[in-house]
Structure 1
Amino acid sequence: MFQQRSYKEAMEIYQQNYQLGIYSPAMLLKMSFISEGIGDKEHATLYLSKYYDLSPNSQTITKIKSLTGQSNLVGYEVSDGERFILFLVEYQEIIVGSLSLFLLISLIMLWVNGRKIAEARYYWPSVLLIILIFAANNFLRAPRTALITQSPTMIVSKPSAGGELVDRVEPGHRVKIKSSKDIWYEVEWKNKIAYIKKDNVTRL
């Protein structure tokens, strides 16, 4: 539908998939393109920011700056360790599937050769695979991030109206979410802990 320029119909399908957590970098780029085309810069920025999580690159930052009118953006720095985690998260299903296949093969070999195997060391590969599958399913998560979408947004030192003002920012910046406290998110802002109202951001 996108190639046929049926953008409205394509967007409806994309949004349904997005809500289900089913999306690819290519789909996010198309969603951003359509949103920008109808003048919805907020969602265009949102989809581009999500795309950046999957495929960090300088061109995306340049485009987000153009959409938001910002000359400098905070929160888009990605370390090598974070890139590796994002890579693992993107291919999580394939990784878990591959490990499960190896586990199945390992268990079949143990069952076939069970009577011949007396030493415990032969069981360690299966045990290790079980641990890896459990870890990949339960602990492999991308860093929680959010896009600042309200203008202006106040970032404060404490989760209360009396918190000291840390920064006053416009939409387009990103924050890493540490925890949730009532109407506040505890976030990382410029390598420091700060707080921001949930209504001022959109989770990625």
Structure 2
Amino acid sequence: MVSFYSKQALRLKISLFFCLTTVFSVCRAGSAETIRQADSLFAAGNENDAARLYETAIADGHTATDPMLLKLASAYEQQNDLPHLLYYLQVYFNRHPDDSVLRKMNDIARANNLNGYETDDLNYFYLFYRKYGTYLLLFLLIPGVYVFSVLMVKQLRKQPVDQRQKWVALMYLLLLLLFVNLPEGVQSGITSRDRVLLRTDPSAAAPVSEVIGRGHKVNILGSTDIYLRVLWRNELFYIRRDNVWVI
């Protein structure tokens, strides 16, 4: 009896697996056809309809390629839809940090009184980190590996290790972990509505400090329920999640 039910369960799992695989394949095929149609429309100069089809494919689960992001940015630039334009440029910039893209976003933002895109020290640090972070990490790892190797050898030989050396090694490790994780832990978002309320606390009853419009960029430092904790002009506020396109 147990064997019979086990076989039935196994058959059910196999059937479910093949059903899900089939559905996934059909969805991917549909998305691929949608993207082909969008490419044709874009090549023919119909960028608006192409943008709608690209976004349909993305909503269906297709990962946006770099050419798709640039085409979407071009389409929304043609429509003068600045928030969408800046959103897709920011997504592209996160993948391929480039000074020219950063300057372009800054120029668009300055011309339209939008904040958060300044070519300041924070953005240039992010640009530098994304470009050279791997090499800098390897450079920092070399002395770290050397120090920990020396400590391990002393430990194996049962030689005394100065307490100060242990603390220095621990602090170095913590700083290294901070360097690796801090930039990746900070997200950014773009306000998506004409009236976005900046509140002092994550509550609808909290006081409103400022009201901003669409297209501003904010740095996201965490969340509480339906609210995002954001950094705006060097101060912390809370914004409803549905008012922000998270990058």
TM-score by length of 1: 0.60
Residue matched to 1:111: none
> What whole-Å deviation, never above 9, does each CA across 1:151-200 have from its counterpart, x for those lacking one?
21111111111211111111011111111100001111111111100000
> Which of residues 200, 203, 220 in structure 2 aligns to 1:157?
200
Pair 91,48 (structure 1): closer, same or farther in 2 beyond 3 Å: same
Instruction: Give the superposition deviation at 1:5.
Output: 1.4
- What is the aligned residue count? 174
Residue matched to 2:87: 46
For 1:137 and 1:57, the matched residues in 2 are separated by 22
Instruction: Give the superposition deviation at 1:58.
Output: 4.0
Pair 151,28 (structure 1): closer, same or farther in 2 beyond 3 Å: same
> Which of residues 121, 137, 154 in structure 2 aligns to 1:80?
121
Structure 2, unaligned stretches of length 5 or more?
Answer: 1-35, 146-172
Pair 197,176 (structure 1): closer, same or farther in 2 beyond 3 Å: same
RMSD: 4.5
> Which of residues 186, 189, 196 in structure 2 aligns to 1:143?
186
Structure whose CA Rg is larger = 2
Pair 38,17 (structure 1): closer, same or farther in 2 beyond 3 Å: farther
Residue matched to 1:170: 213
SS in 1 for 2:215: coil
Q: What amino acid does structure 1 have at the position aligned with 2:233?
A: K
SS in 1 for 2:87: helix
Pair 48,203 (structure 1): closer, same or farther in 2 beyond 3 Å: same
Higher relative contact order at CA 8 Å, sep ≥6: structure 1 or structure 2? 1
What is the correspondence of 1:119-130 to structure 2 with a 5 Å cutoff?
Answer: none
Q: What amino acid does structure 1 have at the position aligned with 2:198?
A: I
SS in 2 for 1:188: strand
Pair 136,31 (structure 1): closer, same or farther in 2 beyond 3 Å: farther
The question of whether the paired residues in 2 share the 8 Å contact of 1:177 and 1:185 is answered with yes
TM-score by length of 2: 0.51
SS in 1 for 2:86: helix
SS in 2 for 1:193: strand
What is the correspondence of 1:79-98 to structure 2 with a 5 Å cutoff?
Answer: 79-90=120-131
The question of whether the paired residues in 2 share the 8 Å contact of 1:145 and 1:203 is answered with yes
The question of whether the paired residues in 2 share the 8 Å contact of 1:157 and 1:165 is answered with yes
Structure with the larger helix share: 2
Instruction: Give the superposition deviation at 1:94.
Output: 7.4
For 2:230 and 2:116, the matched residues in 1 are separated by 11
SS in 1 for 2:43: coil
